Amino acid sequence: MDTNQPPVYSTPNIPPPPPRYNVFGTKIPSGVAFAIGILLFLLPFAEVKCNGNSFAKNTGLGIATGKEWKESKSLFGEGLGGTTTTTNNQRNDPNFYAIIGLALGVIGLGLSMTNARTAIGSALVSGILSAGALIGLMIDLKQQAKDPNPMKDNVGGELNNTLNDIKVTIEFTPWYYIAVVSFLAAAFFCYKRIEAAKR
């Protein structure tokens, strides 16, 4: 038996290094991103344009609740009584996609404020679905703008040609796009929070 083994030295008990602070491990980034996305619903989301001229606009909350579109310019120009008013004939039904996007954003904000891992995972899904609902809102409103004018079949001649020349489009404002990005960022921050909790 070999007795020439090297001596074993005892090492003092060294405490493990303190965990490094990771901002992604907190609820702050995802909560702020969800809150920004929700607050942006109070700002103009979409504009109705007629031959490139802005005619009316509405907020995200207004689209969700079916509020009237606010006229931003008279269709006939400034010389014929073009004032900024709220028109009553442009009221729409509440938009399903806007309601779902807003509701999922609020649910995601509530879930992201908890520490339960399943709730954070649900908040991640809520953020992705909120952004998806807003994209659905864009497709829905653009499809409505493409629908043919119902008056076109009841008129003829020169007026019919004029109606054919009118091109109504719906354009989305930067606030809409920032809201979509905010919900996607909230989902990303929830994912990073789950990853940080695994370490």
Using the 8-state DSSP alphabet, how is residue 86 labeled? B
Structure token digits, residue 41: 């619903």
Three-state DSSP state, 169: strand
Most confident range (mean pLDDT) of 106-110, 152-156, 158-162 is 106-110
Q: Does residue 81 register a pLDDT over 80? A: no
C-alpha span between 149 and 145 (Å, rounded)? 9
Q: Average the pLDDT over each of 46-60, 99-113, 174-188 and give the range with the smallest value.
A: 46-60
Q: Does residue 76 register a pLDDT over 70? A: no
Q: Could you report the per-residue pLDDT of 11-43, keeping only the tens digit for each?
A: 556 665 555 556 667 888 999 999 999 999 999
Return the pLDDT at 10: 55
Query: How high is the mean pLDDT of the chain?
Result: 78
The model's confidence at residue 165, banded by pLDDT at 50, 70 and 90, is: low
The CATH number for 24-75+89-198, chosen from 1.20.1740, 1.20.140, 1.10.10, 3.30.70, is 1.20.140
Q: Average the pLDDT over each of 16-20, 47-51, 77-81 and give the range with the smallest value.
A: 77-81
In this prediction, residues 127-143 reach a mean pLDDT of 93
Contact 59, 41 (CB under 8 A): yes
Task: Give the burial string for 171-185 (b: 16+ CB within 10 Å, else e).
Answer: ebbebbeebbebbbb
Return the pLDDT at 154: 44
Report domain extents, the chain: 24-75+89-198
Amino acid letter at 99? I
Q: Average the pLDDT over each of 8-12, 59-63, 84-88, 90-94 and give the range with the smallest value.
A: 84-88
